């Protein structure tokens, strides 16, 4: 058995870019990050659970097994420097300045996403399998401003809401040849533990570390599915994630004399099609979400992504990658440019680095590590 060690899995992603991650389908993998987030036809058997389970059955002859050790990352969108502004306002003493500053951030929000994955894959000609675990959270912070009184710092507050999903499953896939057409089909049965949190505090006491309050939790079964057609290097695929829809709600509670309402979060199927060319030394791929993913009902966080990426492999020693992604669900969102490099000196180790840029308040980077045998 041949052993290779690749630095491709602990995705230390300090992703600061907006419009990129969709919490319900959020995956951290630097190769994909560098290629605009594509993966429906271009992912590997190890990363197939996060993009298209049918790819679990697509592997090279010398692939015996592989694993992704803890991979993690995150992103945030703070276009108005809201967190810093809340802290600054909390220290002001002049009432007129406080009111002016509060009115400037009224209705503004910031959001944070965090995630991590582990996986182990065993490809074979009978029934390929990749087991995985995945954790992701999405959080929003928004000030509730009331400047009608004489002490706006006492009358106003900061509200936060979060959802966290821990999921574990196994992607199972099988290759078949039907009427001289190369096909693979895959499914991912999985368990999801869904947590919600709701939080309110004064400007003076605001701290993002306290967002995990007023918790609710429930467990559900869910299912992903996918299919792939390929002929030589040409591929077309489709994937469906979270086929069993679910609505979850945060807790309603009292903050002073105010009632903090319950927020609803929707988990609905997301269908993605992809097409591309995946050759030994060149990959080009495009992914498109067929439907809009609606999440928190009270926040403008819907996503419908189009992604494109390209990769050049130089003698198995280096890979150059670039890509582009855009959220079509919000016309005001800017596109994100991505780029990255993969290094594999003598095939002993492999280091993948990715960077993303949307604007000066939205950018990021990721790095991955993995081991294959």
Instruction: State the CATH number of the domain containing residue 116.
Output: 2.40.160
- Note the pLDDT tens digit of each residue in 329-358: 987 778 999 999 998 887 777 788 888 888
CB atoms within 10 A of CB 295: 20
Tell me the Ramachandran region of residue 86: left when phi exceeds 0, alpha when psi lies from -120 to 50, beta otherwise: alpha
Res 214: pLDDT: 86
- Note the pLDDT tens digit of each residue in 259-294: 888 888 888 999 999 999 999 999 999 999 999 988
Question: What does 253-281 look like in DSSP terms, one character per residue?
Answer: EEETTEEE---EEEE--EEEEEEEEE-SS
- Note the pLDDT tens digit of each residue in 110-124: 877 777 888 999 999
Q: Which domain holds residue 27?
A: 4-372
- Note the pLDDT tens digit of each residue in 18-53: 344 444 455 678 889 899 999 999 999 999 999 999
Res 11: pLDDT: 38
Residue 91 DSSP one-character state: T
Res 149: pLDDT: 79
d(CA 188, CA 135) in angstroms, rounded, equals 16
- Note the pLDDT tens digit of each residue in 136-190: 888 888 888 888 878 888 888 888 888 899 999 999 999 999 888 999 999 999 9
- Note the pLDDT tens digit of each residue in 203-234: 888 876 766 778 899 999 999 999 999 999 99
Helices within the chain (DSSP H only): 30-34, 82-90, 95-105, 152-155
Grouping H, G, I as helix, E, B as strand and the rest as coil, residue 331 is: coil
Comparing CA positions, the residue from 150, 159, 140 lying closest to residue 300 is: 140
31, 169, 176, 229, 364 from 60: Cα distances, Å: 18, 23, 16, 17, 32
Contact status, residue 155 vs residue 148, Cβ threshold 8 Å: yes
Instruction: Please indicate, yes or no, whether the overall pTM of this predicted structure exceeds 0.85.
Output: yes
Residue 158 DSSP one-character state: E
Comparing CA positions, the residue from 273, 268, 303, 276 lying closest to residue 288 is: 273
Residue appearing with tokens 């592989």: 66
Count the domains in the chain: 1
Strands 351-359 and 336-343: antiparallel
Res 296: pLDDT: 81
């Amino acid at each position: 058995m041949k052993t290779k060690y690749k630095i491709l899995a602990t995705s230390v992603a300090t992703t600061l870019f907006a419009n990129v991650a969709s919490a319900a389908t959020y995956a951290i993998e630097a190769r994909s990050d560098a290629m605009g987030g594509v993966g429906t036809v271009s992912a590997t058997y190890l990363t197939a659970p996060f993009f298209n389970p049918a790819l679990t059955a697509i592997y090279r002859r010398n692939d015996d097994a592989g694993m992704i050790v803890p991979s993690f990352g995150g992103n945030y969108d703070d276009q108005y420097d809201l967190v810093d502004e809340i802290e600054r306002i909390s220290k002001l003493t002049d009432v007129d300045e406080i009111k002016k500053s509060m009115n400037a951030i009224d209705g503004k929000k910031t959001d944070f996403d965090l995630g991590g994955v582990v996986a182990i894959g065993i490809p074979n000609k009978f029934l390929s399998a990749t087991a995985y675990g995945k954790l992701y959270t999405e959080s929003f912070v928004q000030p509730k401003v009331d400047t009608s009184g004489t002490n706006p710092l006492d009358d106003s507050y900061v509200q936060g809401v979060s959802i966290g999903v821990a999921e574990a499953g196994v992607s199972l896939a099988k290759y078949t040849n039907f009427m001289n057409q190369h096909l693979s089909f895959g499914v991912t049965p999985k368990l999801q533990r869904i947590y919600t949190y709701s939080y309110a505090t004064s400007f003076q006491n605001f701290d993002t570390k306290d967002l995990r309050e007023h918790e609710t939790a429930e467990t559900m079964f869910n299912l992903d599915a996918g299919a792939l057609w390929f002929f030589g290097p040409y591929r077309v695929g489709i994937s469906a994630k979270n086929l069993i829809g679910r609505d979850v709600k945060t807790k309603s509670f009292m903050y002073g004399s105010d009632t903090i309402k319950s927020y609803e979060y929707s988990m609905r199927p997301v269908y993605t099609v992809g097409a591309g060319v995946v050759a030994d030394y060149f990959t080009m791929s495009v992914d498109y979400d067929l439907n809009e993913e609606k999440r928190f009902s009270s926040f403008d966080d819907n996503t419908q992504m189009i992604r494109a990426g390209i990769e050049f492999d130089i003698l198995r020693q280096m890979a150059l990658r670039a890509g582009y992604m855009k959220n079509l669900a919000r016309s005001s969102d800017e596109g994100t440019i991505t780029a990255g490099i993969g290094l594999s000196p003598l095939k002993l180790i492999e280091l993948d680095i990715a960077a993303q840029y949307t604007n000066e308040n939205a950018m990021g980077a990721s790095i991955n590590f993995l081991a294959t045998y």
